[in-house]
Structure 1
Amino acid sequence: MHTVIVYESMYGNTRQVAQAIAEGVREAAPDAQVDCLTVSEATADATRSADLLVVGGPTHMHGMSSGLSRRLAHGTQAQKSARESGALAATAEPDESPGLRAWFHGLPDTESGTHAAAFDTRADFRLSGGAAEGIARRLSHHHYDVLAEPEGFIVEDTEGPLRAGELDRARTWGAGLL
C-alpha cells in the first residue's frame, strides 16, 4: 500500500500533524510506503501512484488558505520574527510556495476506488470554520473516494502550539484510515 500525505503549513502545526498521521499509517501497516510531502513537493507523478491520498492544510479566514490569507499570515510571522530579532519586518520576503488551492488545479483526476482523506488545523472557537471540508470536496471533484469524515486538529493560538494530545489523536486518526 502506498500512502501519500500532502500538506500546506505556515507555522509548522499542520506539518506536525501530517507527520503524526504518517506515523499512524506506518504503525498500522508497517509494510506501507508512506510519503509525507509539502504542496511544493507533491507533483502529479508523486500522487498518481497513491492508494491513499491524505491532504491537509491550515484554516485561514474560515476555510482553505488563499493568496491573501497566506500573505497576511506571512506578514504576521515576519513581524513577529522582526520583533524578536530587532530587524525591520519589511526586509522579509513573502513565501512564494503554492498553496493547496493552486495545488488542486494540477491534481489529476483519478479512477474511482482511489481513497482519500482530508484534515486541517484550526482554532477552537465558535465560527472559526475549517479547511478540511473544502479539501474533501476538492478531492471528491477529482474522483477520489473520501473514506473518512474531514478531521480538524486544534491549535491553541493563531500560530500554535497544537493543543495537548492532538499529535496522538492525529496518529490514531492516520492508523484508522487503513
Structure 2
Amino acid sequence: MHTVIVYESMYGNTREIAEAIADGIHRADPTAAVDCLPVADADAGLTRSADLLVVGGPTHLHGMSSGMSSRMAASAEAKREGHEEAAREARETAGSEGLRTWFRLLPDTGHGTHAAAFDTRGAAANSGGAAPGIARRLEHHHYDVVAEPEGFVVEGVDGPLRAGELDRARAWGAALL
C-alpha cells in the first residue's frame, strides 16, 4: 500500500501532525510505503500513485488557508520576539503555493482511490476547521473519503500542539488502513 500525505504548515504544527500520521501508518503496516511532504513538493505523479491520499492544513479564518490569510499570519509572526523559526516557516509557506492552488491543479482520480482530511485548529469551540473543506475538495476530485475529517488542537495562535495530539494523530493514521 502506498500512502501520500500532503500538508501545508505555517508554524510546524501541521507538519508535526502529518509526520505523526505517517508514523501511525508505519506502525500499523511496517511494509507500507509512505511519502509525507509539504504541498509545494506534491506533484500530480506522486498523488496519482497513491492508494491513500491524506491531506491536511492549518485553519485560518474558520476554514482553509488562503494566500491572504497566510501572508497575514507570516506578517504577524515576524513581529513576535523569540519566534524566529516559526517566522521563517510562516514566510516560506506564505511565499509558496497553498492547498487551495494545489487543489485547482490536482487531477481527478477514479473512484476507489481513498483519501482522508485533517487540520490543525485553535482550541476555541468556534474556531472552525479546514478539514471539512479539504474533504469536499477531495470528493470533488472523485476520491473516496474513508474517514470523517479530523481536527487536531493547537494551543495559542502558533502552538504548541495540545498534549496528546501527536498520539491521537498516530492512532488516526493507523486507523486509516
TM-score range, shorter chain: over 0.9
Between the aligned partners of 1:130 and 1:93, the Cα distance in structure 2 is 22
Q: What's the counterpart of residue 119 of structure 1?
A: 118
Q: What's the counterpart of residue 15 of structure 2?
A: 15
Query: How far 1:161 moved relative to its partner?
Result: 0.2
Q: How many residues align?
A: 172
| Identity of matched residues, % | 69
Q: What runs of 5+ residues in structure 2 fail to find an aligned partner?
A: none
Between the aligned partners of 1:29 and 1:170, the Cα distance in structure 2 is 16
The secondary structure found in structure 1 opposite 2:6 is strand
Per-residue Cα deviation, 1:44-94 (whole angstroms, up to 9, x for no partner): 0110100000000000000000011001110011111xx339xxx9xx967
Amino acid at match of 2:120: T
Q: What's the counterpart of residue 33 of structure 1?
A: 33
The secondary structure found in structure 2 opposite 1:40 is helix
- CA RMSD after TM alignment: 1.8
TM-score by length of 2: 0.93
Per-residue Cα deviation, 1:119-170 (whole angstroms, up to 9, x for no partner): 0000111211000000000000000000000000000111000000000000
Q: What's the counterpart of residue 141 of structure 2?
A: 142
- Structure number with bigger Rg: 1
Write the mapping of 1:43-54 to structure 2, written as runs, cut at 5 A: 43-54=43-54
Write the mapping of 1:1-178 to structure 2, written as runs, cut at 5 A: 1-80=1-80, 83-84=81-82, 95-178=94-177
Q: What runs of 5+ residues in structure 1 fail to find an aligned partner?
A: none
The secondary structure found in structure 2 opposite 1:84 is coil
Between the aligned partners of 1:59 and 1:154, the Cα distance in structure 2 is 10
Between the aligned partners of 2:122 and 2:91, the Cα distance in structure 1 is 26
Amino acid at match of 1:153: F
The secondary structure found in structure 1 opposite 2:41 is coil
The secondary structure found in structure 1 opposite 2:109 is coil
Amino acid at match of 1:105: R
Amino acid at match of 1:154: V
Between the aligned partners of 2:146 and 2:77, the Cα distance in structure 1 is 35
Deviating runs (4+, > 4 A) in structure 1? none
